[in-house]
Structures are given as C-alpha cells and as structure tokens.
Structure 1
Amino acid sequence: MKTLLALTLAALLVTQVASAEIIEKKVPYTLDGVQFEGVLVYDDDIDEPAPAVLMVPNWMGVTDASIEKAKKLADDDYVFFVADMYGVDVRPQNSSEAGKAAGTVRADRDMMRARAQKALNVLLAQEAPINKSQTAAIGFCFGGGTVLELARSGADLDAVVSFHGDLASPTLAVDSGNIQGSVLVLHGADDPFVPQSDVQAFVAAMMETDVDWQLVQFSNTVHSFTDPHANMPGKAEYNALSAKRAFAYMDELFDEKFSD
C-alpha cells in the first residue's frame, strides 16, 4: 500500500513538472509609424506577480538565440520581454547587416531611447503575472549600450545590467545623473570594441553622480563573452567562466532588489 501511494505521489509530481512550460508570445506594437514585434517570455508556473525584465539583445536583434537566452534567464522568477529595436522589416542575417542596423539606431540616441522605452511600456501593459512596481532592463553588446541609454533618459527602472555593452554616449557626462535605479556593468577587460578609454570615461561620468553603480571587469575576457556563438578569436568569443560569474552578479543584484 505504501509503495502504491509513493508511486501515485511520484506520478503526480511528474505530471505537475511536465505541465509547467515557458510561454513564448510574439507581441506586435507600433512607434512613429514603424511596426515592431517583441517576444514575451515567462514560465506559466509563476504563482504570483514577478518582476518585469526588458531584455535588449545584441546587434542581431530578435533571433531564436536571443529568445532562448530569455527563456533560460526567466525561469520561474521573472517575466521577460525581448525588445525589437529595428522593426519587423529589419532582421539582420549576418554581421554586416547587423552592423548597419545597429549603427542606424546608435546614430540617433533619441530614437534609441524612445524605442527602448516603448518596449518597456509594452512589457508593462501585457496580461501576464507582472509586478509593475519591480522593473529591470538587461542588454547584451549593442543591447547593453541601449539599456544604459534608456537608464540615462531617466526611465523608471530598479536595476539595469549591461553585459559587454557599449559604454560611450554623446551625452554621457550630462545624462548619467538621470539614472534612477542601480547599474551593473559586466565587462571583458580585454574587449577591443569597448576599450579601456571608454571604461574610464564611463567611470569618470558615474563618479560625478549619486547613482548606485558597479563595474566588474573579467580578466582574459573579450567582447560577447556570454554568447556561445561568438567566433572572433581574441576579439569576440565565449568565456564560460566569465559568463557564469556575470550571470551570478546579475542574480545577486536582482535578489537584492526584488526579494521580499
């Protein structure tokens, strides 16, 4: 009888685990006459409102890889929204196209901020288990620079995390003081695309503010260190140890900000 009961309970547990799944929902929206499509990602097993996390992907934009990354990070703790920074008519197929698309957005910081803010607004408007009083934004490479730019616009965010992101900004010294939440910058010390001169300029600007900020540099680490698909040796490549440590730093910040 005890064996039968144990088997029954085990079967119920397996059924409950199997029933949990990651929701992946495409969300269309429009800004300034441009059609966009982001992706909402969360675990349908969330039993109470969770923090809303805007995720701006790297310069390739909304891809299967970026959505999979959001799924892994969302788990049962957060509701993620993968932002579309280019519009549905711009879906880069290679680094050349990605560079052009990202360059267009970088060249217009007002547009960059507006598109990121729109994505955040869309996230908060979703019918999902979201705690609208708990918000964060994370980004990778181009996306890291984007979420920092969003923060400099004064966006209402509790936390901002940049993974190997752009640190330069045409209004860096002027706008850094507008940041409302805590900032965590995770950087490869040997990154040739975001050199130490940019790092030091960022530090100097932040030192002039009252913002709660952290900068962590990882040794023997270059650009795109969290991306398993990065394949430019010595310039942009995956570093498993640095990636693990970087995500641990993010988790620690989110625990600090969002745990009861």
Structure 2
Amino acid sequence: MKTTLLAALLATSASAAVVQKKVAYELDGAKYESVLVFDDASKDKKPGVLLVPNWLGINEANLKQAELVASRGYVVFVADVFGLTGRPADMAAAGKVSGALKENRPLLRKRVTRAFDVFRAQKNLPVADKQYAAIGFCFGGTTALELARTGAPLAAVVSFHGGLGSPTPADAKNIKGKVLALHGADDPYVPAEEVASFESEMRAAKVDWQLVAFGNTVHSFTDVDAKQAGQADYNPTSAKRAYSLMDALFAEVFR
C-alpha cells in the first residue's frame, strides 16, 4: 500500500511540470529574450497570458511569480521590454530604464506589442484559440494597460498595483477586452488624482472596467520581497484576493 501511494504521489508530481522556455527575437536590431512558462505535462488548451513583470524585468523572482500564475491554469509569456543589453541590474537602474519607457509610450507600446506578436506566433503551445489576456505588475501593469490601449486582441487585461495614468487617454477607445485594475488604496505612487483620471478615461471610452482598491495596502502588494512599510510592502491577504479576482475575470471571458 505504501509503495502504491508513493508511486501515485510521484506520478501526480510529474504530471504538474511547470517549465520555462526562452524565446529569442529581435526588434529594431536589438536582441530580446522573453520566457514561456507553462505546464509542459498538460495537453489541455489554456488561455494565454502575456505577463509584464515589474521594473526589474525578467529575473529569478519575477519568473517565480510567473510560475505561480502558470500554475493557476494558464500558458504564460513573460515579456522582455528592456532587451538583453538593457536589463537593469539594480533598483536604481530599473528606475531609469522604466522611467525612460514611461516617458516614451510609443516605444513602450512597440516593444510590448512585439512581445505579444511573438507569443501568438509560437507553435505547438496548448493555448486555446484566440484566448489571450495581458497582466502586469507595477511598471508592468502600466505596460499591460498600454498594450490594451493599442487595440491589441486581448479578452482581458489586469493591472496589479500598476500606474494608471496615460498621456493619451483618448486611446482607451481602442480597448477591446475587459479591464481590471487592482490597486492598493494607500499606494503613495499612484495618487488619488491618477486613479480619478483613469476612471474618467474608462468611462469616456465606455470600457467594461473594474477598479478594486484594497484597504491597508500600499504599492507592490503581490511582491513577496517588498518590505518598505508604508511605501512598497507585500500584503499576502490582498495578494490572494487579487489573484482570485484575476481568475474570476478570466473564467468570465474564457468560459
């Protein structure tokens, strides 16, 4: 009996094999390397989720976060928007490169659109036909919203503690899918004025949108490494609720 039980446990473990596969491509002569993260053992068709990480880009911590999302039943494509030679080595560098892209929204859109196109062009992936969403964390949340504003064929977009402002709010009319903004009510980096502008933008464009503000929650609340009290701080309760809201939206649009 013990041998049978052990064999069953091993088989279950082997059947849930979340893997990472690098995907290299170029844009304007520069080299980029995004990462596919999905359960390689499952052949069931799943929604495809473009994930834009925080301003540190593709690193070990953000790939672990991608594995968490993939384990919830999605094929995840972690988008490289910095390029192999532009990836920040620390927080100071991250602030500079992400800030430059936030100031150049056309370039930011071009890079994330290229990543999304590469994702959709991948062959032999267990992605359900035309079932794509985009999510992002912090700077990545800003980027995911910018991708939606281009009119990309996304069924849904989810921003986790991302910046909500846009220099071209009229572009919200291009949004095709449903929008979910998950926001820390006490986030010092996304002030009330920015939240109000986002709400006005969504209303004016008649987008199907939701904004959920989590009480007693600041910036980076899904980031287990964030430990700056009152500024950027992990909140496990809000993180759990946020992921559940993401799942609920995806269940709605991909049913």
Normalising by structure 2, we get a TM-score of 0.95
The CA distance in 2 between the partners of 1:36 and 1:241, in whole Å, is: 35
Structure 1 15/241 Cα, relative in aligned 2: closer, same or farther at 3 Å?
A: closer
CA offset at residue 86 of structure 1?
0.3
Residues 182-233 of structure 1 deviation map (CA, whole Å, 9 limit, x = unaligned): 0000001111111010000000111112211000001111111111111222
Report the counterpart of residue 213 of structure 1 in structure 2: 209
CA offset at residue 140 of structure 1?
0.3
What secondary structure does 2:35 align onto? strand
Report the counterpart of residue 158 of structure 1 in structure 2: 155
Which of 222, 226, 230 in structure 1 is aligned with 2:222?
Answer: 226
Report the counterpart of residue 14 of structure 1 in structure 2: 9
The 5 Å alignment of 1:166-205 reads 166-172=163-169, 174-205=170-201
The 5 Å alignment of 1:89-108 reads 89-108=85-104
The CA distance in 1 between the partners of 2:26 and 2:253, in whole Å, is: 31
The CA distance in 2 between the partners of 1:129 and 1:137, in whole Å, is: 17
- Is residue 52–residue 132 contact of structure 1 (8 Å, CA) maintained in 2? no
- Is residue 124–residue 130 contact of structure 1 (8 Å, CA) maintained in 2? no
Letter in 1 for 2:253: K
What is the aligned-residue identity percentage? 49
CA offset at residue 12 of structure 1?
4.5
Report the counterpart of residue 80 of structure 2 in structure 1: 84
Residues 25-60 of structure 1 deviation map (CA, whole Å, 9 limit, x = unaligned): 111111111110111000112222211100000000
Residues 105-146 of structure 1 deviation map (CA, whole Å, 9 limit, x = unaligned): 112111111111111111112232112310000000000000
What secondary structure does 2:65 align onto? helix
Q: Which runs of 5+ in 2 are unaligned?
A: none
Task: Point out 4+ residue stretches in structure 1 off by more than 3 angstroms.
Answer: none
The answer to whether the aligner puts 1:133 opposite 2:130 as a matched pair is yes
The CA distance in 2 between the partners of 1:139 and 1:104, in whole Å, is: 18
Which of 67, 71, 74 in structure 1 is aligned with 2:67?
Answer: 71
What secondary structure does 1:256 align onto? helix
Normalising by structure 1, we get a TM-score of 0.93
Report the counterpart of residue 255 of structure 1 in structure 2: 251
CA offset at residue 78 of structure 1?
0.9
Q: Which runs of 5+ in 1 are unaligned?
A: none
Return 158-167 or 69-78, whichever deviates more.
Answer: 69-78
Return 246-255 or 76-85, whichever deviates more.
Answer: 76-85
What secondary structure does 1:102 align onto? helix
The CA distance in 1 between the partners of 2:72 and 2:147, in whole Å, is: 26
Which of 142, 145, 170 in structure 2 is aligned with 1:145?
Answer: 142
